[in-house]
Structures are given as structure tokens and as C-alpha cells.
Amino acid sequence: MSALLRAEGVGKSYSLRGKRVDVLQSVDLTVRPGEITALVGRSGSGKTTLLHILGLLTEPDHGRVLVGETDTSGLTDNALADVRRRRIGFVFQHYNLLPQHSALRNVAVPYVGRRAQGEERARRLLDRVGLAERACHVPGELSGGEQQRVALARALVNDPPVVLADEPTGNLDEGSERVLLGLFRELADEGRAVVLVTHNPAVSDTADVVHRLDAGALVTEGSDA
């Protein structure tokens, strides 16, 4: 299977109290369609940094990220934003919903086409995640599990081939977690590539491939392949 997302030789470091901290060291990662990939590791191991680099939200110090066959390392900011909008859906741990807008509007906002088409697609996606009847509610009127499903619907509004999620079940109860993991499995079964950062064994157990970050390096723990 062709890779939908690749990291090649990706490195990232930060300065902490005058000292250099290498968070990622020459990380290579291939993400394929139809698979859920889990990134695990202790706090501070670089999981979220790697996810943000894969999602084109953070630039690596060295190495490159390829989305399909597109090498993103030489792209302008505008071109990067376009790749991100069209080809990558990002689900944040704390939802990042617009508090003043309805669930419907939150999902529709990133849509790259006409507003009417975006709202129609947003309605279909809210129905898919079981929230059709909550479309007019603002985030403060929704539970944590509902807000996370709105965030997932928003990530799907442009039908991206890649979905990235940072600790997507971190704030959810067991029932909401089960629903969300079922949705991620559906997305992978449809041919998308799904990458989940997690501390939760239930999430990593759902994955087809598990990578552990240790001292800035990536180690493959398991694969169903």
C-alpha cells in the first residue's frame, strides 16, 4: 500500500534553561491507508510534537514530511495551509471548538468550498457521529464526549485521507471512548490513515500499528501486518 503520510529523518529540539533538549531524533514513520497507528510513550517523550509536525502545524528542525507524494519541506506558508486543510484532519485533545458558535457552524467553518455546501456536509457528518439533534447547540451545552465528536466531524469536513488525533479519549468516560474508537475504526476501514497519540491502553489496543517514542527515537512495538 502506498503511504499517505511519511516522516523522513525528522528531528526537533528546544532550548530549556539554556540547554538544548532533543525531543525527536531522526524519526522515520510511514502511515498507510486503512490502518490506525498509535504513538505511545511517557509524558514529554515527543508524541505531541511529532503529531504536530505530521499535521504541518510545527516545522521540524531537519528532515521532511511527505503527504502522499507531496514533499512539504519546500512549500510556502499558504501552500502548507492548503495541504493541511484539504488532506489532513486534526482532532485536538481539548476540542478547540469556537464557544460562540453552534456545533453545525464549528464543523462547517474549515470547509474549503461554498458555505451552503459546507453546512450540508456538516449536517451529514454530525448525523454520522450521532449528533444530528445537537447541531444547534453551542459547545458549552454539550458533554465532553459530544464535543470531541463535533471536533472529529470538523476534522472530516474536507474529506481528508489522513486523520490525526492527540489524546482523543483523554477527557472521556468509557462509553464515549468506545463510541469514538468505533468511529476511528470506521474511518480506517474506509481507507483513511488514522494516527492517534495516546496514554490509554484501550486506544493502543485498537491500533493496527503501535510505535513507542523513547529518548526521541521511534520503536515499533507491534503490528497486525
Residue 176, CA atoms < 13 Å, CB-side half-sphere: 17
Per-residue model confidence as pLDDT tens digits over 39-75: 998 888 889 999 999 999 999 999 999 999 999 998 9
User: Is the pLDDT assigned to residue 113 strictly greater than 60?
Assistant: yes
Task: Determine the pLDDT at residue 225.
Answer: 44
All 3 cell numbers of residue 12? 526537533
Per-residue model confidence as pLDDT tens digits over 129-188: 999 999 999 999 999 999 999 999 999 999 999 999 999 988 888 898 999 999 999 999
Contact 10, 59 (CB under 8 A): no
State the Cα–Cα distance between residues 115 and 117, nearest whole angstrom. 5
Mean pLDDT of the chain: 93
Nearest C-alpha neighbor of 105 from the set 119, 116, 94, 117: 119
What is the model's pTM? Answer: 0.93
State the Cα–Cα distance between residues 204 and 37, nearest whole angstrom. 8
Backbone phi and psi for residue 136, each to the nearest 5 degrees, phi listed first: -90, 0
Q: How confident is the model at residue 224 (pLDDT cuts 50, 70, 90)?
A: low
Helix (H, G, I), strand (E, B) or coil at 90: strand
State the Cα–Cα distance between residues 81 and 181, nearest whole angstrom. 28
Contact 203, 194 (CB under 8 A): no
User: Is the pLDDT assigned to residue 223 strictly greater than 80?
Assistant: no
- Cα distance between the two ends of the chain: 12
Strands 62-67 and 217-223, by their bridges, are: unpaired
